[in-house]
Structure formats: C-alpha cells, structure tokens
Structure 1
Amino acid sequence: MTIERTYALSDIHGHIDPFRAALQLVDLDRDPAAELVLLGDYVDRGPASREVLETVRDLQQRFPERVTALLGNHDDWFLDWLGADDEDSSWLLGDADLGTVKSFLDPLELAHALGHDDPSSDASALDGPTMNHNIKNAIPTKHSELVGWLRRLPRVHETDEQIFVHAGVDEDAGEMWRAATPDYVFTEKFPATTGPFLKTIIAGHVQTRSLHPDGSNGVFHDGESHYYLDGAVEEVGKLNVLRYDHATGVYEDIPVG
C-alpha cells in the first residue's frame, strides 16, 4: 500500500456534524491511497464528545494502517479528571451545562449519578465530592472500552517530513526535540511557534484567527515550518482540512462546505 495523500484535522471539540462533513473530503473508503491524522481535542465545548470519540475509534479500527489519532489537551484533562481525587471537581465545574458529561450519560443515568430518579431535573447540584465521584465513575463504567482506547492514544506522530502534534514540541532542543519535550508541551504548548525547524510541524490547539493578520479562521502557514489548523469549529461550524500531496510536497487548505 502506497500513501499518496495525507489529510490532517484538529480540534473537533464535540461537533460531530462538521466532523462528518470533513470526512466526506477525506473519504478513506474510496481512496485507498489516502491517510488521515487527527490531532486531538475531540471532547468539550460541543454536544457530541462521545460520538466524536466513537467515530475516531471506529475509523482507526476500520483503517488501522491509515488513521492516526493523537491526544489533545482537552482529552488529557478529561482523562485526568476521571483519575483524580474526588475532591477535585474543577473539570466537571468547567463543563458548561454538563455538555460533555451528557454525551456519555443519558438523562436517567445522569439523574442517578446526581442522586435522584428524575431525568428531567436540572443538573445543578454539583456541590460536593460525592456528586463528582458518582458522575466520573459512571462514565468509565458505561464506556470502559472507549475510555481505555483514549488513554492509549499517543501525543506525537513523526514521518520523514513532518511532525504531527496537538500543540507543539520543544524546538530549542533541535534534533533532540522528542526526548526533550515533556508530555504536557505536546498537548499544551502556547503561544504558537513560527519560523524554520528540522521538519514541518502540523498542529492544532492555537486558533488560527489569532495568527492570521485579518483574523480569519482558515489553515495558517507561517511561510516556514509550521501549519496550524484550529479554526474554532464551535464558532464557525466547520473544520479546517489540510492535505499533503506526497508526490509534489504541496500542502493545501481544502474548503469544507
């Protein structure tokens, strides 16, 4: 199998419809010479975090040699919360209207986690470690395979020409970047780095409107070694798709919609 085209997507943030629209452009079923690299941040902000994760996992299972999924900082924070002390409810309190939680638990399951039997009740009583414990244990109990899969995702993917990563690497380390970069930098590096590097770095995390002089949301290229893809899907309703042509070495921002 020869890969001729590599597509990259990032920062889906629980928005399943824009993700499905972007996948229509990639079309792994009809293009056996295509591969897909997903740069993380599958959860939070949107209403369908679980559906996004399941779609990514299913793609990996169907195309194990052609789909690579990386971990993002929001995915990492979600996993940290699941494994944290019950006293630490900071992630849960930051989940606006429990949007991410509700994608994993149906109304009755959430009601039980909150200590009652009324699925129509507003989930507002998040006032203690018991509530936090109940909710964060209900998710891996119901979705143990999905959570386990998420925990196993790598933080970086390297090819002969590129470094795919959610946020960035320690570029000051030069050729030693992989060994010198702490895990949290792969997923949380900020601000964006620009300029030349040993390989082309393709990342998400930093919204491209903060990098484009005109505040636009398309793929940002610094003219050197960096591409950034996060187009703020939660606001614009679509994802950026970057395509790399192996024969020509050309990168292209593929319009969605």
Structure 2
Amino acid sequence: MTDPVAPIGPTARIYAISDVHGHLAPLQAALDLVDLDGDPGAELVLLGDYVDRGPDSCAVLEEIRETQRRHPGRVTALLGNHDDWLLGWLDGEDHDLDWLMGDADLMTVRSFLSPLELARALGHEDPGSDASRLDGPTMNRNLKRALLSRHRPLLAWLRALPRVHETEQQIFVHAGVDEEAGELWRAATPDHVLTEKFPASTGPFLKDVVAGHVRTHQLHPDGSHGVFHDGASHWYIDGAVEVTGRLNVLCYDVAEGTYSSSTAG
C-alpha cells in the first residue's frame, strides 16, 4: 500500500541545506526546522556533499532519499563533489586507490557495511580486525563489490541526482556556475564546475546563486560559520558541520522576496 499524497499548494518558502558530510543528527535537526510535514508551502533543496568526513554517510543518503519519497515534488537533492568522487571510485579501476586512501579509517566505507561485511572484504572473518590481509587492488575491488551488492538502489538514486536546480529567482548548485557566460551559463558550465568551482564568486549575477562547497568561515571577515551573503547575488551556506556540529538552513520567502537563516544541530 502506498502512502496517500496530499495536494501540493503554491510554494511559499524554499529552504536550502548543504554539506551534510555524513552527520545524521544535524541533518535531522535541520529537517525539523524545515518541517515539510507541517508546512505544505515549503520546498527543500539539498545542495550536495552528503558523504565523507562524518560517520553516517550511508544513513544520510537514506534519510534524504526517504524524505524525497515522502514529499514528492517538494524535495530536490543535488550532487556534490564528494558524492561524485564516491561514484567515481565505485566506477574506477581497482588499482586506483586515491579515494579509498583519503577515507580516513574507512569511515565512509564503514557506514555502508556491517562489521562482518567489512571484515570479509578486507580478507578475514574477524570483525574486530581492521588490517587487510589483501593487496590494495584486491581489497579495493572487494569493498566496491560489497557496497554495490548491498546498496545498489541507493547508489543508483545518488547517481541520478541533478547538479543544478533553477527557480524563477535562484540558481541552486553545489559550487557555482560559469558566470562569465551570462545568460548562456547553463550551456557553458561543465559538470565539474557545478560541483567543484573555487574560489567563491561574488557580485551581481542574473539570478541569486545559492551554493555550498566553500565554507563560510573563509568568507566572513570574522571567521564565523553562519550563512554568508555578499550583498549582491550570492549566498553560501556551508557551515563546516564537521567542525561545528551544526548545519545552516537558508529560507527564501517567495511572496516577500526575502531571505532568512537559522542553524540546526
């Protein structure tokens, strides 16, 4: 039996959250602030980087996918560079260990596998033993096969996520767009720029650009972690959850044309 779908009214508020980085509790606190269940005029855009750096990468993806399922047409999830790198590792050659070597203590991989599954992928049956008995390429292949075997639908969902979401007023994106292209930005911006553009752009543009990727303490003169607005067309919301334990939540009031922000964690 499927859940009944309530009629969707006009959008009154658009919320944005970015750079969850494997931190489930702050994400759940942020979703409580958005309150999609209690606010039929709310829409949510998640700007990517759901994995790496925190212990709950898999659970974060599952939470976002389930939130999207429960609120069809009201939740947009975009791809970030860390999500793209995870997929690139899964698709890559077994001898390419770069992403895996960057996964400190296999924290991201561990979030996808049970202790026994991890142990077997590492070449032993004891979940309490972390040292691999296998050479790097074989271990790499085993880990990728284990993730794909257990989470193929979830990873397929991740792979299908778009990289940009445009509204009448905003361009939501993980990192940024080719602003030098002006009105041709959508055709001119390569995929890797959408997820990896650096440094942050500032100043006026055709629409408001709402992005994550660049930690806001790098933009605020006082080094604070709140939402950063450049006074023109750019909003950056990556509050470095791995440092602060909190996520920034940006809200756009469609009728008023105004922004407000809060933090959750």
1:239 aligns with 2:247: yes
- Could you tell me whether the CA contact under 8 Å between 2:216 and 2:224 is conserved in 1? yes
Q: In structure 1, the residue corresponding to 2:214 is in which secondary structure?
A: coil
CA distance change for structure 1 residues 250 and 45 in 2, over 3 Å: closer, same or farther?
A: same
Partner residue in 2 for 1:81 = 89
Q: In structure 1, the residue corresponding to 2:235 is in which secondary structure?
A: strand
Q: Provide the TM-score with structure 2 as the length reference.
A: 0.95
1:114 aligns with 2:122: yes
Q: In structure 1, the residue corresponding to 2:204 is in which secondary structure?
A: coil
Partner residue in 1 for 2:175 = 167
Partner residue in 1 for 2:6 = none
Q: In structure 2, the residue corresponding to 1:12 is in which secondary structure?
A: coil
- Could you tell me whether the CA contact under 8 Å between 2:122 and 2:132 is conserved in 1? no
* Number of residues of Structure 1 aligned to a counterpart in Structure 2: 257
Partner residue in 1 for 2:49 = 41
- Could you tell me whether the CA contact under 8 Å between 2:124 and 2:133 is conserved in 1? no
1:181 aligns with 2:189: yes
Letter aligned with residue 254 of structure 1: S
For 2:134 and 2:158, locate their aligned partners in 1 and report how far apart those are by CA, in whole Å.
26
Cα distance, 1:124 vs structure 2: 5.2
1:11 aligns with 2:19: yes
How far does the alpha carbon of each residue in 1:82-125 deviate from its partner, in whole angstroms, 9 at most, with x for none? 00011101101100110000000011000000111000002456
For 1:235 and 1:84, locate their aligned partners in 2 and report how far apart those are by CA, in whole Å.
30
Cα distance, 1:127 vs structure 2: 4.3
For 2:208 and 2:25, locate their aligned partners in 1 and report how far apart those are by CA, in whole Å.
29
Partner residue in 1 for 2:146 = 138
Give unpaired runs (5+ residues) of structure 1. none
Cα distance, 1:8 vs structure 2: 0.2
- Could you tell me whether the CA contact under 8 Å between 2:132 and 2:139 is conserved in 1? no
Letter aligned with residue 159 of structure 1: T
How far does the alpha carbon of each residue in 1:67-87 deviate from its partner, in whole angstroms, 9 at most, with x for none? 000000000000000000111
Letter aligned with residue 197 of structure 1: F
- Could you tell me whether the CA contact under 8 Å between 1:167 and 1:206 is conserved in 2? yes
CA distance change for structure 1 residues 27 and 123 in 2, over 3 Å: closer, same or farther?
A: farther
Cα distance, 1:253 vs structure 2: 1.1
Partner residue in 2 for 1:219 = 227
1:204 aligns with 2:212: yes
When structure 1 is superposed on structure 2, of 215-224 and 121-130 the one drifting more is 121-130
For 2:244 and 2:211, locate their aligned partners in 1 and report how far apart those are by CA, in whole Å.
19
- Could you tell me whether the CA contact under 8 Å between 2:216 and 2:238 is conserved in 1? yes
Give unpaired runs (5+ residues) of structure 2. 1-8
- Could you tell me whether the CA contact under 8 Å between 2:123 and 2:134 is conserved in 1? no
For 1:162 and 1:133, locate their aligned partners in 2 and report how far apart those are by CA, in whole Å.
41
Identity fraction in percent: 68
Q: In structure 2, the residue corresponding to 1:205 is in which secondary structure?
A: strand
CA distance change for structure 1 residues 23 and 117 in 2, over 3 Å: closer, same or farther?
A: same
Letter aligned with residue 42 of structure 1: Y
For 2:248 and 2:129, locate their aligned partners in 1 and report how far apart those are by CA, in whole Å.
37
Letter aligned with residue 209 of structure 1: H
